[in-house]
Structure formats: C-alpha cells, structure tokens
Amino acid sequence: MRKLTDIQEQDLQTLGLGGVGKSKKHESADKHVSGEAIYIDDRPELRGQLHAAVGQSAYAHANIKNIDLTKVKKAKGVVAVITVADVPGHVDIGPVFPGDPVLAIDKVEYLGQPIFAVAATSYDLARRAVKLAKIEYEELEPVLCVKDALAKQNFVRPPFTMKRGDSDAAIEQAGNKLSGEMYIGGQEHFYLEGQVSTAEPTEDGGMVVFSSSQHPSEVQKLVAEVLAIPLNKVIVDTRRMGGGFGGKETQAAPWACIAALLARVSKKPVKFKLSRVDDMVMTGKRHPFYNTYEVGFNNKGMIKGINITVNGDCGYSPDLSDAIVDRAMFHSDNAYYLDNATVTGNRCKTNTVSHTAFRGFGGPQGMMTIERVMDDIARHLGKDPLQVRKVNLYGQDKRNETHYHQTVEHNNLDKLVTTLADTSDYKTRRKAVADFNAQSPILKKGLALTPLKFGISFTVQHLNQAGALVHIYTDGTISLNHGGTEMGQGLFTKVAQIVAEEFKVDVDTVGVSATRTDKVPNTSPTAASSGTDLNGKAAQNAAKTIKQRLIKFAIEHFSVNKEAVKFANSQVTVGEQTFAFGEFVQLAYMNRVSLSSTGYYKTPKIHFDRATAKGRPFFYFANGAAVSEVIIDTLTGEYKLLRTDILQDVGTSLNPAIDIGQLEGGFIQGVGWLTTEELMWNDKGRLLSNNPATYKIPAISDAPPEFRVDLMPDDPNREHTVYNSKAVGEPPLMLAISVWSALRDAVSSLSGYKLSPTLDTPATPEKVLWAVEEMNAIQRLKE
Amino acid sequence: MSSFNSGRIPFINYFSVQSVKFLRLPLGQSMLFLRMALLLRVLLTNKSRINKQPHPVTGIEWKTLMTTNTIRFLHNDQLVELNNLDPNLTILQYLREEQHATGTKEGCASGDCGACTVVLAEPDGDKLSYKSVNSCIGFVGSLHGKQLITVEHLKDGDKLHPVQQSLVDNHGSQCGFCTPGFVMSAFALHKHNDSPNRAEVVEALAGNLCRCTGYRSIIDAAMTPTKDTAKDAFVKNTKKTIKQLNQITEPANLNGNNHQFYAPTNIKDLAKHLVDNPKSTLLAGGTDLALGVTQNLSTIEQLVYLGNVVELNQIEQTNTHIKLGAAVTYSRFTNLLGEQYPDLAQMIERIGSTQIRNSGTLGGNIGNASPIGDMPPAMIALNATMTLRKGEKTREIAVEDYFKDYKVTDLEKSEFIQDISIPKAQDGQHFKVYKVSKRIDDDISAVLASILIEIDGKKVKSVSMAFGGMAAIPKRAKACEKALLGKPWTQTNVDKAKKALAKDFQPMSDVRASDAYRMKVAQNLLQKCFIELQNRTIETRVANYA
Ligand SMILES: Cc1cc2nc3c(=O)[nH]c(=O)nc-3n(C[C@H](O)[C@H](O)[C@H](O)COP(=O)(O)OP(=O)(O)OC[C@H]3O[C@@H](n4cnc5c(N)ncnc54)[C@H](O)[C@@H]3O)c2cc1C
Ligand code: FES
Ligand code: FES
C-alpha cells in the first residue's frame, strides 16, 4: 500500500522542471570525455612539492631485527626518510579496531607491508630510493591459508552465530540431506585511478589533504591523530575518485597519513601516488571465503533446516572484517526462507594484506553458499534449479522472517523472478539449451536464473547519518555540498537532481562541489549503497529549510496565504505575480532572508542486538534477478557469456540512466569476480597476480553480446526514502552469481543434469575444465 | 616468463608480456623517399617550441639550439623539437610531467589498461593513418616524424568531438578515469571506419579497461556513426599536417642523462651503428622492452629504434612466401597472413590489444625469446625462416633454431633480425592455431598450440607442431609428431600422440595455469584438431560466439 506522503512526493515530479526521475547525464560527463576532469594526480604541482614512496616488507611474517637506511638517505633526490619512530601521534590507524600500524612496528605481518617512507624530489627518485634499504628480519612461520587459520583458531575478531529454530533436528528430519564446502576467491578492486593523496602543511601547523577517498572524515581524523593535532587543523578535500568500489573506504587513509607525516618533517607539500603494482600489493581486497553447509530439504526441494559456516580470510588485521563477515552471515539466505537455520561466521587471521570493503561487503560471499545449495538440491532431486529457487523464495505473510529475525517486507521477489523468467523466455531457452547440448559434443551451453535480496543500511548503526550544506546565491544559482563522495556512481548528479526538484529549477542551476571536511563535518563513508539515501535526504532537508524560509518570506512580503506560493519551471509564483527564480531570490536577499542552510538525516527504524543476534539491521531490501546463458568448451574450459537479462527493483528511479549504468557495471564487475579475476599468492605469501597482466578484470569482449537490463516499473519503495527510490550501488554485483550457476549448469549437462560439479570461484577456464573432468570421471566410473 | 624462471613472478619477467609503444611506420614507400629528399633542407628552418623548464629527473635544461641531438614531431598542430632529454622517458611522462597535459591518464604504466591511449598519425599517401597506442610504454624518441594527438586536442572550441559527444549521450562514463583512453581508441577507429559494427568496436576497444560501466554504454557510443560530423579539425588540416610531417625525414638522435637514442632510416646505417656500438639495445615497438623501464625501474643506455628503418618495414610476397620486415607491426600483417592461414589471423587478433598490435612487431615477438610469445610457435610449425644481419653479412636460419634456452638465442652481438619468411599455404595442408588464456582478449597464453598437418588419404603425410607456454622456449613437439607421422589419422593414434606430448613437455605451474592444466589442454587441443578435421560440422570454438 502506498502511503499518502509517497503519493504527494510522486506527484511533485510531474510539476514543472526539477530533475528527479530523468536520465540526466553525469555532472562531469563533458569533462570526462575531454580530459578536463581533474583527479588528484592531475592537480598542478605545488612549489617544492615532493613525492613519497614506502619500503616494503620482504616477508609475510617476521620480526624486524635491524633497519639500515643509510643508503636511502643518501640517494639522489631524497629529502626526508621516516620510520614509525618519527610519528608524533598515534601509530595505529586501524579504522574500527586497532591492528594497522601506519608503518611497521618491530614486526611485519604481510609481504609488502610498509616499513619506512621517503619523500624525494620526483616520483621516480622516491621509488628508486626505497629499494636501497637494508633490512634484517627474523622469519616467523606465516599462516597463509584460511583453513590453517581456522584450525589454529587464529581470528582477528571473535566468532558470531545467528540462529532461528533448531537446525540440527530439522536437517535430521527433513528426508533429504546434503553437505558441501566451497572456496570463494577474493577480488582486487582495480579502480582505474590508483590510491593517491597530497598533503600540504598550513601556516598553523595543520594540513590540507587532497585524497582519493570514500571517507574524507576518517582520513581527517587519522591524519590529525598521527600528527597529534586537533581535527580542526586538518581539511580533507575529495572532488572525485577514478573509481572506489569500497577500495577507498579505509584503504585511502594510510597513504594520506604517510604523505602528511612526510610533509610535516620536510615542511613541503608531499604527493603519494601508488604505482599499480604497489597498489595491488599493499591494499586490501575483497575477502576470500571458505564456506561449509549442511542442509535438509523435502522432496519439493524446500529447505527445512540448514547449518552454514562462513569463514572470511581477513588478512592480518581486523580493518572492517567484523562487519563484513556479519554481512556475509546476514546474506547467507539471499532471497530464500531458511526454516531453522544456524549461521556462524569466523574471522580468520592470515599473513596477507588486510582484506577490506568491496561492493557487497561480504554479502556476495555469503550468498554464494545458498545459491550453490539451490543448484545442488535441484540436481539431487532432478529438478530445474529455477523450480527449487522459487519454492524457497521468501513468502508474503508466512515464511517471511530472516535468520536474524527481521521480517521481509515489500517482498516482490516472486514477481521479479516470474516476470524475468517470462521476459527472458527462460522456459523456451531451457529447452533450446538442452537441444543444443544434445547435438554438440564439445561445446555445451548453460542457463541459470538467480534472484537477489540485498539489505540496505550500514549494519553499524551510527554510520546511518548524513549532513549537507546548500547555499543559494543572489543570481539564483545554487551551491550544493554534502558528505557523500563521487566515485563515478553518479551521486553528485542524483543529489543535484533532488535539490533542483525541491526548487523546481533546472539541474544545471545546481553547482556541485568537492566533498570537504570543513564544509560538512563528521560524515560517514560513501559506502553500503547508502550514498543517495543518506546524502540525498540531508540535501533535501537543507533545501526544504531554505524553501520554507522563502515561502514564509513570500507570505509576509506579499500578504498571501501559503497556497498562493508556487515553485515551478525555474520560477516562483506568488498570487498573480511570477518571478524568475533568481529574481525572487534577489528579492528575498534584499529583505534579509538567510539563503543558506545545513541539512541532516538519520535512517529511522533500524536496530540490531548482537547479544541476541536479533533485530532489524536493514531499513529495506533491494531486490532483483538475473538470467545468464553461457557456452563452455569441454576441451579447454574456456567459456563465453552469451546473454544476460536483468530485472532490478530500484524503487522509483531518481535517474534511470545512472541506475542502469550501476546495474551493468556492477554485474560485469561481479562476473569478473566469479570468472577470470584470480588472486594468487605463493607459498611465501607473495602476491603473484600483482598487475593487470596477470590479474584479468573483464575486458569489453566479456560483456555479453545480448545485455538487457530493466528497472522494475511502478514499484516505489514502501519506506520513506528520498522520492521512494532504492539503493543500487552494490546489489547488481551479486546478480553475476547467475553466470557462475550457468557455468555449473553447462558442466552438469555432461551428467545429464544428475550431478552438481565442484566449481570454486573464480571459475577460470582451468577450474571449468577440472569440473568437466570431474563429471567425465564419474561417468566413466559408472560405465 | 616468470613461470619458467623461479616460480615467483617478478613483474618484468612475467613475460615480457606487456608493453607498448607506438611506432608505426606503415607509410607508403614512395612517401618515404619524398620525405627523405625534403629532409636536410628543412632541418634548420623550423621553429622550435622550447620548454625552458629543467627536466625533473635529469635536471638538464632543454637547449634552444637545434643539434642532431633532436627529435621532431607534431604535438597536435605544433611542431615540437626535443633534445637533451633522457630517451628512457615515456610519452606519458612527457605529456603529464613535462607538458602538464594531464588529460591522458596513467592506470597501470604497463600497457594493460589503455587509460593512457593516445593517437599517432602518419602520412599514408595523401591521407593520414591514425593509430591508437599506449603512451605509457612508448619512448618519447619514437615520436619522431609523427603527429601526437591527445584527448585535449579533440574538442573544436567548446564543441565536443562526435566520438566524445556520443559517449556523453550514451552515459558511457562513470568515474571518467578510463574515458580519455576510450575516447582516443574510438577516435582512431572512427578515423578509418565511421560506422563500425559491434565486432569492430570490440576489437578496437579491447585494450581499454573500464571498471565502472560494464561496457554496454561504451559499445553503443562507439557504434554511433560519425559520418556527417567527422569533418573535424584533423580532416581540415590533413594537407598541412602531411606536409609538415613529410619534412621530418632525418635520422634522429636524442641524448640525455648519458643515455642515447638513435633512429636510423636505412638498414645500412643501422647495421653499421650496431657494429660500432655493440652494446645497443634494439627497440622495435617497445611493447616488451619498455616494461623493464616502467615496471622494474631499469634504464637503457643505448636505444636503437627500428621503426624508421625503411627496409625493416617492408612486406614482400613471392609465389611461395611472405617476407615480413622485422619491424612490421601486427596491424599491418594480420590480414595478409589471414589470407593464407585464417586461424593464424584469429589468433593474432588476440595478441595484446589494438594498441599493442599497432606498435608490436614480429621481430620483437621473436627477438625477446619469451616462452609464452604467441608468434614463435606458429612460425616454428609453419617452418618459417629468417634473415639475420650483422654489418654487411646476412645468414638464414629456421625460426626454430633461434631459440636456444630460456631467453637465450642464436643472435650474436651486433646482429639483428632483418626479416621473416613465411611459407604460403599449400593445398592439402591444414593449419590450426589455438590460444588458451584466462581472459579471451588481451591476455597472455597459458598454452598456445600450432599444428600444421597434411592428411593423405587416411594417413598423416606430414605434421609439424609447436607449443608455447609448455617449456622454457617455444618448442616443437617432436615425440608427438613422430607418433603421428605416416600413421593412420585415427583416434587410437591421436591418443598415442597425446601421450607422447608428455615426453615432449614438462610444463610449469604459475599464475596463469597449473602444470597439469597446461598438459591436459595441450593434449585436448590435439584432440580438438582431430575433431575439427574429422567432422567440420561440430562446433568447437567459444570465441566464435562473439
Ligand atoms: C599489454 C600487452 C599484451 C601483450 N600481449 C601479448 C600476447 O598476447 N602475445 C604475445 O606474444 N605477446 C604479447 N605481448 C608482448 C609484446 O607485445 C610482443 O611480444 C611484441 O611482439 C613485441 O614486439 P615489439 O616490437 O614491441 O618488441 P620490443 O619491445 O621493441 O622488443 C622486444 C625484444 O626484442 C628485441 N628485438 C626487437 N626487434 C628485434 C630485431 N629486429 N632483431 C632482434 N631483436 C629484436 C628487443 O631488443 C627486445 O629485447 C604483450 C605486451 C603487452 C604490453
Ligand atoms: S597506463 Fe595502462 S595502458 Fe598505459
Ligand atoms: S568509468 Fe570508471 S573506469 Fe571506466
């Protein structure tokens, strides 16, 4: 049921100009294509600017016996060299929990960990200088695999369990039982713009920092802390990032801190840009996971009881791993009702770089298990996997409570799945695939439809707040600022549309500006898909405040009643009179009306009690579904994605073009995660896939030739989000599970769809070939 | 390749995989002579655009006087003369650090992402030929005689270029960091094809990575025809540009920071120079060589650039052979070889990216002796030969005999590869080439198989096959060949041949594939060849499902 307020907001859109609901181009589109958009490395060099580099650990786990930097200090161009001893303030920059020294203290815990830093007159000289250090180590035994860590109970944070019902008993009684284990690989963010920061000392002992960061407020705090200066002496500015994807949530701060420390010592501006290889070695990635399950189900394939354990490989420190493994646990149900479920999460400590946020934040790794279970049940019972998935979808009034006891509301999962199966001709194509496979001995096709339900809100409650700052100048142009950062997702565009909508002016009237900690303070990271939900509302509130003032002024000045004041088409009508927006603003100014306001928003309704593992961690769910068709080569394991259809629920879209862009981009990023993007460490803990020649993200030919992406029509968010829209940033990544499932479907065809192949991810051609071999071997055994 | 090295994978090693460079030189030959004739006359008359700032690395100021220590090129429509500059400087560094032209981005500095894509134009008769290249792995000296076009030059006043406008209209940028590179690749494509189809777009843009968009919008944008609007400033200036470029025909030198760059224009000068300077490093496309500099921070003391040597850029054909000058780029010979061996062209289209193939050469691919280079196995299987030259002396050797051990070749000091002779296809022969890699486009092979086979009646009349990725060098599979030669072409014998492969090779595990996978795939590729020749109706290649 739509509530009255929703309808009012809807109707506003049809009234003269504003921007909401239109496919406005990205605010920087023209600058992107002309090379005029300025990223941090493009900023003009400041007088005397130096460049930073760090010396890295050569071992995954070792005590540092001695650091000899004599040669480094003498190297050409070197101006300053620091170790942790030169840090005046905090040495630990762990974002939530301690554990991340800004430079190593006596000990190194992953190969590549920064030990010392230099500032030199050029980027090249800095990079050359750090190679001259002589460091003596005492090697310690590293833990390099998640199973070892698990065996040793080597955890960065304590385990946690969510539970509803008696899963053990239910599994026993269910009639059918399956169990399994799987490895899910991690993922390098590969934002096209690597990590980069500049720090410039100010006249009062402070620092102005330009950082490619999703979380300027945290960079501000950490820079202040390492320098031992108050927060009000540090300003952090982020105009745009060349991609973030979670990789610049906590991972941007170390480089900003090091730049600031070097700037303090040298009294010169310092830029720290990581080379691609250094970036891949020294920054955290999506967590690899090792998950196990045990499931009981009836003959229809309906799950009666399930035990799932998710084990996140966190790397050497906690970073955000507590919340990431939590989210994997929260999403172990994906879109399915788990009658009697026990979900346990372990946070394993290994001697690799500390893994971190990445689009989906653990959610994708959690969903993989249950999607595998769906396929396995289907093969076991000889059913089409789609049938099994549909049987298990959350219900409307019954079977609608998650394993963390949140009721699933606004449940359009069945509608999404049914509609998509229809529009994508699932049935016909299922048959076509079978026919093709029957006559094609070498190439095999696979088809799969997977649904998606993704919880929206930070699960850390205090982060669900935002601030904004709106000014109107006397010519009627608007300046907009808020705590959210622009990383390509179109946040600035959407929020500008929202503000334009409030005043019914053209979007181009709203100027967006760099996120700055001295404009809007104490902000949350732009993460958890929450950017628009939070900042859009905050900006809307700021705009509303000014608008109320303007209305009040009009009522008083023209002695009219409220209804006589109307904003439309870049004009303000007061009774019989109509003013251009700028003209009216000028009048208000002359009559001493304040034209600037902050705005604030916090997400309502959410709560979660860790002690009981119960609550409503999510304000709402963003749902969707995807069907993918693949073809595999059973002789080499090579494959191709042939077609994907997506139907996603974005509520009422604020900007369909941007939303579709997020869906397409997130999906392909997910395809990369599950197929060709393979992180590989050797037995010493060295990252082998440390550059784009060895780590393969999807290229243009990996986009399916048929790629149909639709937004669910006429289904506004039932919650009071901004214009009843829904978040869209993270969810599409998980739609790529359909591709993995389709690959398994193709392999399974070799067994006449009787067997469910092992296919850990990433499902590289090699892994697909081994899955094919597994099927062939079992077949041979039978013959 | 790293894998055959130590099991660790230092970057450069990973093969020699990478790289970039722009070079190019496909100009018509007559033009070249014309340009030569014009050369000395213009040498002293051109105005230099001098940058007075000291170079940040070397600290050396650029001299105002023109000496032979000069390279000359057009930066958009401006003639630039550079001297006293370290020739290890890449074009990207030149743009961003020297010129403060920051529209061109660095995403990897290794030729893999395309963010640094620029376009080089060169006269081709009365037209200009435009090629996209990776500026991050091109040395600045290779610009000599070319027009360098970057993203900043595309706008006409305030008006976006049509390829830029269609990216905007199709919402083809999100974070925008990859965008300048895509713009330049699309620009180069539209310069020779103003309404490309999807396959052409995908081929042209396969060397540009985008992490945000998922590509659909970019494909749509690049497929938007630019027919009516392509009357851009470059078209208008064509005549003038050609004229300016034709005046740059002198051999070039660039010295700085005690490092030298020399770009001779004929083979005699090249040969002599190499004899006089035996420590020289040959630079063709640089798509391999430059990685040592950008990734391993090494420096090259004496660079000798082959891109302007007329004879090395020639293609000759006889009734029986195609002879490719060592510095002919992939882009120029792909179709030609494809007429003889369709499989070979399909494989070449998967070597690197359009940018890489616009710079990379056959001489460089053989020259670097990488065990995972894609052309050597094909050349070995085809029994190609090559001419090596040292001073005035030349010798012919089989490509197969060039590779001695891991990165050890038969090449002597001061010697270079002059040309490669590839036998044309003969009736009854089948040539199968299979490239297997993690990602279909722009990836290094895990295994590369080339099989030349002739079946006479039911028997194998001749067979020669070579593999990449299976040993420390590109290598012939002799035991396997023996198992097949003269035998009936049957599954039983193919099975025996597959077993024999295990005698030929003991592959290694590395970041690209495990030893077991490499062996299994090599065997299965032989199986695939068998199936393809036995029954042509069976579908066997996923890459055909574009
Ligand atoms: C992103 C990327 C992708 C790549 N993908 C592939 C791929 O898929 N398959 C593949 O095989 N390769 C690939 N490469 C490697 C490289 O592009 C090719 O090997 C290319 O053919 C090298 O040619 P070049 O002209 O650029 O060589 P250069 O880098 O100029 O030279 C390479 C070596 O050969 C020597 N050399 C050059 N010319 C001669 C000559 N005439 N005589 C003797 N020695 C000579 C040089 O001194 C140098 O040691 C890739 C590289 C990059 C950067
Ligand atoms: S910067 Fe990535 S290809 Fe040049
Ligand atoms: S738009 Fe961000 S990488 Fe392409």
- Find, in chain A, the residue whose alpha carbon is nearest to that of B521: A636
Question: Whose atoms come closest to the Cα of A33: which ligand?
Answer: 3
- The distance of A727 to chain B (nearest Cα, Å) reads 17
Do the chains contact at B214 and A42, CB–CB below 8 Å? no
Predicted confidence at residue B230, as pLDDT, reads 60
Predicted confidence at residue A367, as pLDDT, reads 98
Do the chains contact at A766 and B179, CB–CB below 8 Å? no
- For ligand 2, say whether the CB of B112 is within 6 Å of any of its atoms: yes
Residue whose CA is closest, atom 3 of ligand 2?
B111
Do the chains contact at A703 and B215, CB–CB below 8 Å? yes
Do the chains contact at A35 and B152, CB–CB below 8 Å? yes
- The dihedral of CA A386, A388, A392, A397: what is its sign? positive
- Find, in chain A, the residue whose alpha carbon is nearest to that of B546: A705
Angstrom CA distances, B227 to B163, B188, B191, B196, B230, stand at: 11, 14, 10, 11, 6
DSSP character string of B378-404: HHHHTT-EEEEEETTEEEEEEHHHHEE
- Please state the separation of Cα A773 from the chain's center in Å: 35
A703 touches chain B (CB under 8 A): yes
A92 touches chain B (CB under 8 A): no
Task: Write out the two tokens for B329.
Answer: 């780029």
Q: Which domains does chain B have, with CATH numbers?
A: 18-153+236-305 (3.10.20.30), 162-231 (1.10.150.120), 310-423 (3.30.465.10), 429-544 (3.30.390.50)
Task: Write out the two tokens for B208.
Answer: 């540009």
Residues of A in contact with B201 (CB under 8 A): 700
- For ligand 3, say whether the CB of B174 is within 6 Å of any of its atoms: yes
Q: Which residue among A25, A33, A192 places its CB closest to the CB of B113?
A: A192
**Which of B2, B12, B14, B17 maximizes ligand 1 atoms within 8 Å of its Cβ, making it the mutation to test the pocket?**
B17
- What is the spatial distance between Cα A256 and Cα A269, in angstroms, rounded to a whole number? 12
E strands within B244-317?
Answer: 252-256, 259-263, 281-283, 302-305, 315-317
Question: Whose atoms come closest to the Cα of B19: which ligand?
Answer: 1
Provide the 8-state DSSP code for B431. E
- Inter-axis angle of helices A737-748 and A363-381, nearest 10: 30
Question: Whose atoms come closest to the Cα of B375: which ligand?
Answer: 1
Do the chains contact at A35 and B103, CB–CB below 8 Å? yes
Provide the 8-state DSSP code for B159. B
Predicted confidence at residue B68, as pLDDT, reads 67
- For ligand 3, say whether the CB of B213 is within 6 Å of any of its atoms: yes
E strands within A443-533?
Answer: 443-456, 465-472, 478-482, 510-512, 515-516
Predicted confidence at residue B55, as pLDDT, reads 40
Q: How far is the first Cα of chain B from the last one, in angstroms, to the nearest whole number?
A: 30
Taking the CA of residue B176 as reference, the ligand 3 atom at the shortest distance is: 1
Residue A197, SS3? strand
E strands within A457-526?
Answer: 465-472, 478-482, 510-512, 515-516
- Please state the separation of Cα B200 from the chain's center in Å: 18
CA of B544 to the centre of ligand 2 (A): 28
Question: pLDDT by residue (tens digit) across A96-127?
Answer: 999 999 999 999 999 999 999 999 999 999 99
- Inter-axis angle of helices A216-227 and A253-266, nearest 10: 40
- The distance of B8 to chain A (nearest Cα, Å) reads 7
Q: Are B390 and B274 in contact (CB under 8 A)?
A: yes
Q: Are B115 and B2 in contact (CB under 8 A)?
A: no
Q: Are A690 and A280 in contact (CB under 8 A)?
A: yes
Q: Which residue among A127, A661, A766 places its CB closest to the CB of B174?
A: A661
Q: What is the identity of the amino acid at A771? A: A
- The distance of A335 to chain B (nearest Cα, Å) reads 25
Rounded to the nearest 5°, which phi and psi values hold at A282?
-100, 0
CA of A276 to the centre of ligand 2 (A): 10
- What is the spatial distance between Cα A77 and Cα A51, in angstroms, rounded to a whole number? 10
Burial category of A426 from C-beta neighbours within 10 Å (exposed 0-12, middle 13-18, buried 19 and up):
buried
- What is the spatial distance between Cα A64 and Cα A72, in angstroms, rounded to a whole number? 17
Question: Side-chain half-sphere of A55: how many Cα atoms within 13 Å?
Answer: 23
Can A27 be counted among the known catalytic residues?
A: no
Predicted confidence at residue A16, as pLDDT, reads 66
- What is the spatial distance between Cα A272 and Cα A196, in angstroms, rounded to a whole number? 6
- For ligand 1, say whether the CB of B466 is within 6 Å of any of its atoms: no
Provide the 8-state DSSP code for B521. H
Q: Tell me the residue length of chain B.
A: 546
E strands within A330-473?
Answer: 341-348, 443-456, 465-472
DSSP-assigned beta bridge partners for residue A238 = A515
Angstrom CA distances, A496 to A501, A535, B432, stand at: 8, 11, 57
- Find, in chain B, the residue whose alpha carbon is nearest to that of A192: B107
The DSSP element (H or E) to which B517 belongs, if any, is helix B515-534
pLDDT higher than 90, residue A783 = no
- For ligand 1, say whether the CB of B359 is within 6 Å of any of its atoms: yes
Q: Which residue among A34, A242, A709 places its CB closest to the CB of B164?
A: A34
Question: pLDDT by residue (tens digit) across A377-390?
Answer: 999 999 999 999 99
Q: Which domains does chain A have, with CATH numbers?
A: 46-141+189-282 (3.30.365.10), 289-459+610-782 (3.30.365.10), 465-602 (3.30.365.10)
Predicted confidence at residue A741, as pLDDT, reads 98
Angstrom CA distances, A681 to A73, A458, A695, B284, stand at: 32, 31, 12, 34
DSSP character string of A666-704: HHHHHHHHHTT----B-TTS-BS--STTTS----GGGS-
DSSP-assigned beta bridge partners for residue A512 = A480
Q: Are A337 and A411 in contact (CB under 8 A)?
A: no
pLDDT higher than 70, residue A1 = no
Question: Side-chain half-sphere of B497: how many Cα atoms within 13 Å?
Answer: 31
Question: Side-chain half-sphere of A398: how many Cα atoms within 13 Å?
Answer: 2
**Which of B116, B179, B353, B358 maximizes ligand 2 atoms within 8 Å of its Cβ, making it the mutation to test the pocket?**
B116
Provide the 8-state DSSP code for B107. S
Question: pLDDT by residue (tens digit) across A247-273?
Answer: 999 999 999 999 999 999 999 999 999
Query: What pTM did the predictor assign?
Result: 0.94
- For ligand 2, say whether the CB of B115 is within 6 Å of any of its atoms: yes
- The distance of B391 to chain A (nearest Cα, Å) reads 37
Do the chains contact at A692 and B542, CB–CB below 8 Å? no
Question: pLDDT by residue (tens digit) across A7-24?
Answer: 344 444 445 677 899 999
Q: What is the identity of the amino acid at A21? A: G
Task: Write out the two tokens for B509.
Answer: 């595990």
Query: Rg of the Cα trace of chain B?
Result: 23
The DSSP element (H or E) to which A211 belongs, if any, is strand A207-211
Residues of B in contact with A241 (CB under 8 A): 175
Residue whose CA is closest, atom 4 of ligand 3?
B210
Angstrom CA distances, A105 to A63, A115, B212, stand at: 9, 8, 37
- What is the spatial distance between Cα B426 and Cα A159, in angstroms, rounded to a whole number? 68
Q: Are A671 and A448 in contact (CB under 8 A)?
A: no
Q: Are A269 and A199 in contact (CB under 8 A)?
A: yes
Q: Which of B57, B110, B170, B177 to mutate to test the interface with A (most CBs of A within 10 A)?
A: B177
Question: Whose atoms come closest to the Cα of B111: which ligand?
Answer: 2
Task: Write out the two tokens for A779.
Answer: 């077949």
Question: pLDDT by residue (tens digit) across A564-612?
Answer: 999 999 999 999 999 999 999 999 999 999 999 999 999 999 999 999 9
Predicted confidence at residue A15, as pLDDT, reads 53
Show pLDDT as tens, one digit a residue, over chain B (546 residues).
333 333 223 333 333 333 323 333 333 443 443 343 333 333 333 333 334 444 444 344 433 333 468 999 999 999 999 999 999 999 999 999 999 999 999 999 999 999 999 999 999 999 999 999 999 999 999 999 999 999 999 999 999 999 999 999 999 999 999 999 999 999 999 999 999 999 999 999 999 999 999 999 999 999 999 986 567 999 999 999 999 999 999 999 999 999 999 999 999 999 999 999 999 999 999 999 999 999 999 999 999 999 999 999 999 999 999 999 999 999 999 999 999 999 999 999 999 999 999 999 999 999 989 999 999 999 999 999 999 999 999 999 999 999 999 989 999 999 999 999 999 999 999 999 999 999 999 999 999 999 999 999 899 999 999 999 999 999 999 999 999 999 999 999 999 999 999 999 999 999 999 999 999 999 999 999 999 999 889 999 998 886
